[in-house]
Each structure stands twice: as C-alpha cells, then as structure tokens.
Amino acid sequence: MNFHEYQAKDLFAQYDIPVPKGTAVKSADDAVAVAKAMDTHQWMVKAQVHAGGRGKAGGVKFAKSLDEVKQYAGDMLGMEIKTYQTGGMALPVNEVLITEAANIENELYLSLLVDRANKCLSFVASAEGGVEIEEVAKTHPEKIHTLTVDNTETLWPYACRKIGFAMGLTKKQVFQLTHIMMQMHKMFHDLDLSLIEINPLIIDDNQNVVALDAKINSDDNAEYRQKELAKLRDKSQEDPAEAKAHEHELNYIKLDGDIACMVNGAGLAMATMDVIKLKGGEPANFLDVGGGATAERVTIAFKIILSDPNVKSILVNIFGGIVRCDLIADGIITAIKEVGVEVPIVVRLEGTNVEAGKKLLEDSGLAVIAASDLDDAANKAVEAVGA
C-alpha cells in the first residue's frame, strides 16, 4: 500500500522525524486559509498523487503570495498527473499539500528498504539528493553508501554515524541523521513497512537535517494488524480493477496482453504466464484467486478480468489441492452464466475430484474449451486469440 506525501509526513512527525509544517486541503480557499496561518511568506503547493516526477508534470509550485497559493491550488485540484511512475495511468489530484518553503543549503538522499539479496533491511544514503538515485548509482557509485542491518542485532548508532561522516556532514548533522535513521528503523518495524524514502533529505539554512519529502510503502500482508494505516488507503490512486480485487482478497495485476489468466496459487500463476509467453501469447493479467476459491470469488474474478477491453481469451488453470476441482467447475459455470462471458474460455483442471469437475463442465452446455494439461491449455488460449 502506498501513502500520500502528507500522510507519510504525518507519520514522520509521530516518530520525531523533522519535516516542514504543512496541511493537505481539498479546495483553493482552504489552501489560502492554511497558508495564512503559517508563519512564512513563501509556500510550496504540492499535488498529492502516488507517483514521483510531479514537478515536471506541473504538480509542484513555489508560491510567493497568497494569490499564487490560490491559483496553483486551483489549477492542480481536479487535474490528472501521468508520469514515468504511474504505470500508464493518469492519477487524479484530489488534494494538495500546502507547506512552508524551506531554504535549502544541500540535498541528500536516504532510504530504508527490504534488502532481499542480503535477507535483511538496508539503508541507502547519498550526498546526491533530489535526483533519481538509480542514475547516481550508475554514474557515481562511490557516492552511494549502504548500511545493512543484521537481523540478529539491532541498529547501532555508531553505524549511522559512520554513514553521516562518509556523506561529509558536520558533527551536529551526523547526530541529527543518526536520530532520523534510528527512528526510521523503529517506524519500519512498528508499522510493518516495506519502504521509507526521503528524497531530498535537506540541510536547511540553519544547518539542520530535515525531511523535505517523504515516501512510504507498507506490507499488505500485515494489513490485518495495521488497521489505522489501512484507513489511509486512497483507492482513487489505484487501478480500479486492482482496487476491486483487493476488496475481495484477490491478487490481481493488470498487464498489456490479451490472454487473461485465472489461477489458484501465485507460483502456478507465474508459470501459467510464462507458458503463455512461450507459446507466443501475451498475458493480460496476473490473477491468483487463492487456495480457498469459491463460486463467488470466481465470479468476481471473471468480472475483473472482463473489465479489461483488451482480453480476447481466458485461460483458467486450477490445481485442486486444498480446493476441490468440482467446486471450482461449479464456480466457473455459475460465473459464466451470471457474467455472460463472450470470449473463448480454456479450462485446465487437475487434482482432487478432477474427473467430477470435468464432467460438470462437459454437461453444462457452455462453450468451454477443455485442456488436458498446461501446455495444451496455453496452446488453445493462444489459438483462440487468433481465431
């Protein structure tokens, strides 16, 4: 789950990580009221969307008067922003953040993420902030500093101080950075996060270290114990089909192809997509209905699949281990009758009660294409697209 900048900064403030004062608003008049209440004469107006690159798309403006605050907020609210990070979607701007403008002496970079290679958490820091960290790593790898946090130990302040001195900070700033890193680590564990990124982390004109921007991602698998965080979800920033799938505990990701996949199990879903590619086809989605698939979930899955106008055939690949094939077959039949599927459907069943499941499909009178195995199913799904 992603968070808006203002939500991330609110969480930062709760963990005593310094951020500029700011408030998110939904109207230009409220923007002016918030700006007036601040002890400053310069403000930043920032569109709140789940993507980087807002500035180049007109989503970040420096205002030197209340009239400019009102103008920029009015221009942004209601606009749609599409950047290299939106996955082709144009995200609506429903809120803008009004924050005091900072006097920047220097821009740094700091993040904490799940390091899968080392199977632990790692900090990534750089004296080059405000730019794409990937480009810095490519062109100036010596400017990237990494701190891995051993799972059998805690995060030690001395290790944070080493990073600060390596970045060329003063003694005062090193201790401030150490505090921020320690709080980030605590926050990461407390809130079940998967990423914290501050870009830029700045040195202001008072020589203090401040988080000027904030990006946070949380682990959806821990949502059941992070109820307050779950309330912050903004579905307007998500693909509608993916948001609907999330509501029904389905794992769905839209892709660019035309062969839809409905599979039970993430590994089997990945294998199904691979075989479709091997046969010359293009998967339209990743969809895992889970081990506890029911007729209702299968019906919802069909509706989500068919919301994509690019879908020209559907491959249903079910291995009946926890769930019985006859129950899945019954769900497929119910779903097809309710939804009214007009594209070819290829079904491959294997596992518990497979024969009973196949017979139900055969006797249904529906135009379902039976497949003997995954290879056969992929061939038939690809052929159906070209038919």
For the chain, how far is it from start to end, CA to CA, in angstroms?
Answer: 40
| 46 known member of a binding site | yes
d(CA 375, CA 379): 6
Given the DSSP bridges, would you call strands 96-100 and 91-92 parallel, antiparallel or unpaired?
Answer: unpaired
| 115 known member of a binding site | no
d(CA 188, CA 269): 30
d(CA 281, CA 375): 12
Q: Which of 166, 169, 117 is nearest to 144 (CA)?
A: 166
**Residue 306, Cβ density class (10 Å: 0-12 exposed, 13-18 middle, ≥19 buried):** middle
109 is catalytic: yes
| 2 known member of a binding site | no
| 386 known member of a binding site | no
Given the DSSP bridges, would you call strands 345-351 and 144-149 parallel, antiparallel or unpaired?
Answer: unpaired
Strand partners for 97:
24, 46
| 264 known member of a binding site | yes
d(CA 197, CA 130): 11
| 379 known member of a binding site | no
In this structure, which long-range contacts are made by residues 134-143, counting pairs with CB atoms below 8 Å and at least 24 apart in sequence? 136/109
Amino acid letter for position 299: T
Active-site entry in 6, 72, 109, 252:
109
Task: Report the half-sphere exposure of 301 (CA within 13 A, side-chain side).
Answer: 30
| 321 known member of a binding site | yes
| 74 known member of a binding site | no
d(CA 274, CA 255): 13
| 323 known member of a binding site | yes
| 199 known member of a binding site | yes
| 22 known member of a binding site | no
Calculate helix-pair angle for 171-190, 157-166, nearest 10 degrees: 130
Strands ordered across the beta sheet of 60-63: 22-25, 96-100, 43-47, 60-63
Residue 145 dihedral angles phi and psi, to the nearest 5°: -115, 130
| 102 known member of a binding site | yes
Contact 73, 33 (CB under 8 A): no
| ω into 141 cis (within 30 of 0) | no
Active-site entry in 5, 197, 238, 252:
197
Show the tokens assigned to 93.
């701007």
CB neighbourhood size of 348 (10 A): 25
Instruction: Report the catalytic residues.
Output: 109, 197
Indicate the annotated binding residues for substrate: 264, 321-323
Q: Which residues are annotated as a binding site for ATP?
A: 46, 53-55, 102, 107
Binding annotation for Mg(2+): 199, 213
* Residue positions forming the annotated binding site: 46, 53-55, 102, 107, 199, 213, 264, 321-323
